[in-house]
């Protein structure tokens, strides 16, 4: 099923060595029967996610692929040649929604539309003008971050699927394991102090305008950068997005101190420069699965506006039990 498996730290790389045959048709049929439309091909969290998953688990290729991904026990997986490149948008996104539902509970990225599948590509500049935007809306680079860091319950995982790789020199995907962040911070006294402060002092994250209820609303969530570990064998869970925190501190000056600013600047330096990282240009038809609580991700700058990825975030918690704007509640 998966071949040419290699590893770099907690990241696993593999090649898909299977053919979907008629299983893509089976997935499409199951979703067509169970969902009330495809929400403009963005899909939405199904009201009975477990029942739908049980039905999808009977599709052999999907079940084997899920087993193969879980069996890699990695914090990041880069899977080449998934075999969806030839598909129209509805069928491709149906396959990605089905796969993510096998791995957990896909959440709505956009509370206004409920879309689960999010297009990561440049938006026209006139749409962006003046707002605090998010990385997936722009060409250019994305600083190292965790997804949904500004929400009460950041999803445990996400996928990125490459529809169109950037045809320019840039657009590399970047990953850093949380342990490498920790190791880099432990090298100096300032780093150790910064880690202790960011493990004990909650910081404000400002929600980007595209997700906030109204574009003029300033919405802030307060949380630890290094939160308590939730899984055996891990040291902490991580949230990070420097621009969101800096804007959060501007909105909440009561939480702003010189010590905190210094610790955040040091953490940013470790994330952007010092810590060891994976860096690669992912080709078309590649799937990346990332542990969003234990890895930072980002991308190098690019200029090709045809670069197009699909992102789906996956929660360990059913949508009905989630707190915050992601989930089945769309109002």
Q: Cα 150 from chain centroid?
A: 13
Residue number of the CB closest to Fe ion reads: 147
Q: Cα separation of 77 and 7, whole Å?
A: 9
243: left (phi over 0), alpha (psi -120 to 50) or beta: alpha
The least CB distance from residue 177 to Fe ion, in Å, is 16
147 scored as a contact of Fe ion (CB under 5 A) = yes
| Choices 110-118, 147-155, 208-216, 226-234 (CB under 5 A): range interacting with Fe ion | 147-155
Q: Nearer Cβ to Fe ion, position 147 or 180?
A: 147
156 scored as a contact of Fe ion (CB under 5 A) = no
| Choices 141-149, 162-170, 208-216, 265-273 (CB under 5 A): range interacting with Fe ion | 141-149
Closest CA to 317 of 43, 116, 50, 27: 50
Contacts with Fe ion: how many residues (CB under 5 A)? 1
| Choices 38-46, 109-117, 139-147, 226-234 (CB under 5 A): range interacting with Fe ion | 139-147
155 scored as a contact of Fe ion (CB under 5 A) = no
Q: Cα separation of 45 and 32, whole Å?
A: 14
Q: Nearer Cβ to Fe ion, position 147 or 177?
A: 147
Beta-carbon count within 10 A of 17 CB: 10
The least CB distance from residue 84 to Fe ion, in Å, is 21
The least CB distance from residue 205 to Fe ion, in Å, is 14
Beta-carbon count within 10 A of 179 CB: 18
Q: Nearer Cβ to Fe ion, position 62 or 309?
A: 309
Residue 187, class by beta-carbon neighbours within 10 Å (0-12 exposed, 13-18 middle, 19+ buried)? exposed
Reading the block at residue 9, the tokens are 């730290």
DSSP code, position 10: T
The least CB distance from residue 135 to Fe ion, in Å, is 6
Q: Nearer Cβ to Fe ion, position 23 or 147?
A: 147
The least CB distance from residue 297 to Fe ion, in Å, is 6
The least CB distance from residue 310 to Fe ion, in Å, is 13
Residue 162, class by beta-carbon neighbours within 10 Å (0-12 exposed, 13-18 middle, 19+ buried)? buried
C-alpha angle with apex 53: 48 to 57, nearest 5 degrees? 160
Note the residues at the interface with Fe ion (CB under 5 A): 147
């Amino acid at each position: 099923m998966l071949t040419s498996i290699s590893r770099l730290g907690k990241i696993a790389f593999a090649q898909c060595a299977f053919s979907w045959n008629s299983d893509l048709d089976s997935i499409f049929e199951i979703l067509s029967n169970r969902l009330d439309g495809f929400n403009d091909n963005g899909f939405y969290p199904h009201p009975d996610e477990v029942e739908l998953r049980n039905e999808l688990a009977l599709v052999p290729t999907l079940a084997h692929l899920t087993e193969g991904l879980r069996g890699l026990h990695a914090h990041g997986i880069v899977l080449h040649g998934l075999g969806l490149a030839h598909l129209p948008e509805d069928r491709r996104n149906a396959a990605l929604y089905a796969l993510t539902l096998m791995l957990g509970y896909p959440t709505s990225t956009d509370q206004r539309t409920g879309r689960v599948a999010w297009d990561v590509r440049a938006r026209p500049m006139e749409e962006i003008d003046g707002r605090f935007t998010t990385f997936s809306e722009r060409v250019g680079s994305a600083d190292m971050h965790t997804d949904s860091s500004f929400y009460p319950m950041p999803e445990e995982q996400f996928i990125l699927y490459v529809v169109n790789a950037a045809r320019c020199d840039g657009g590399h995907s970047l990953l850093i394991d949380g342990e490498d962040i920790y190791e880099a911070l432990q090298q100096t006294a300032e780093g150790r102090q910064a880690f202790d402060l960011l493990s004990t002092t909650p910081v404000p994250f400002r929600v980007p305008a595209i997700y906030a209820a109204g574009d003029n609303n300033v919405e802030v969530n307060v949380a630890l950068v290094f939160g308590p570990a939730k899984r055996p064998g891990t040291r902490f869970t991580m949230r990070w997005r420097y621009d969101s925190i800096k804007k959060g501190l501007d909105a909440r000056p009561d939480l702003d101190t010189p010590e905190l600013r210094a610790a955040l600047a040091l953490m940013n330096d470790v994330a952007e420069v010092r810590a060891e990282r994976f860096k690669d240009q992912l080709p078309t038809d590649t799937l990346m699965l990332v542990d969003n609580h234990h890895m930072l991700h980002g991308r190098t700058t690019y200029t090709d506006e045809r670069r197009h990825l699909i992102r789906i975030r996956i929660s360990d918690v059913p949508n009905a039990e989630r707190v915050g704007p992601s989930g089945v509640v769309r109002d």
